[in-house]
């Protein structure tokens, strides 16, 4: 049954790939700029330095707690990653970085005071060597 579905889907895909003139489909630079315009007004970035004694399991737990902030409806997108040493002598000494996107300042303010955000923030303190650094960006 599954193979039949794939065959039918493949046949439909082939039929939709008919040859046509695509010269009018090219994107002009003006259109490209409009397409690439950020959909979020504010990018809230947080930089964490963890205690040297933090284990790999604790780092995973730390990142999962950060990712759990997605549950707050005002959060547009969230990105969490460990930093990597790629040999750039200018790189700052942070272990984990989180970026949270918001559509507007009001949503960010709701997020900052949200009870779940405050619980997560408090739960991360035992892993931190020092207070996190933050920066907020507003794309033009």
**Residue 81: inside a domain, yes or no?**
yes
Q: Name 136's Cβ contacts closer than 8 Å, sequence gap at least 6.
A: 42, 43, 44, 45, 108
Contact criterion met (CB below 8 Å) for 40 and 76: yes
The model carries a pTM of 0.70
**Poorest-pLDDT segment among 6-20, 95-109, 114-128:** 6-20
| Domain presence at residue 21 | no
CATH code where residue 86 lies:
3.30.70.100
**pLDDT confidence bin for 96, thresholds 50/70/90:** very high
Mean pLDDT of all residues belonging to the chain: 81
The answer to whether residue 15 sits within a structural domain is no
Does any domain span residue 74? yes
Cβ atoms within 10 A of the Cβ of 40, count?
Answer: 17
Query: Which pLDDT tens digit goes with each residue over 46-76?
Result: 999 999 999 999 999 999 999 999 999 999 9
Contacts of residue 82, Cβ cutoff 8 Å, sequence gap at least 6: 59, 63, 95, 96
Whole domain around residue 71: which residue ranges?
Answer: 36-137
% pLDDT > 90, the chain: 62
What's the structural domain count of the chain?
Answer: 1
Res 22: pLDDT: 47
């Amino acid at each position: 049954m599954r193979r039949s579905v794939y065959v039918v889907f493949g046949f439909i895909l082939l039929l939709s790939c008919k040859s046509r003139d695509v010269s009018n489909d090219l994107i002009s630079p003006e259109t490209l700029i409009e397409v690439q315009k950020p959909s979020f007004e504010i990018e809230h970035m947080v930089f964490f330095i963890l205690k040297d004694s933090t284990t790999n399991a604790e780092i995973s737990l730390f990142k999962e707690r950060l990712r759990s902030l997605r549950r707050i409806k005002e959060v547009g997108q969230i990105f969490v990653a460990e930093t990597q040493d790629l040999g750039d002598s200018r790189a700052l000494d942070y272990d984990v970085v989180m970026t949270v996107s918001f559509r507007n300042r009001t949503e960010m303010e709701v997020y900052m005071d949200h009870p779940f955000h405050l619980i997560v923030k408090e739960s991360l303190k035992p892993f931190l060597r020092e207070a996190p650094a933050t920066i907020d960006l507003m794309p033009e």
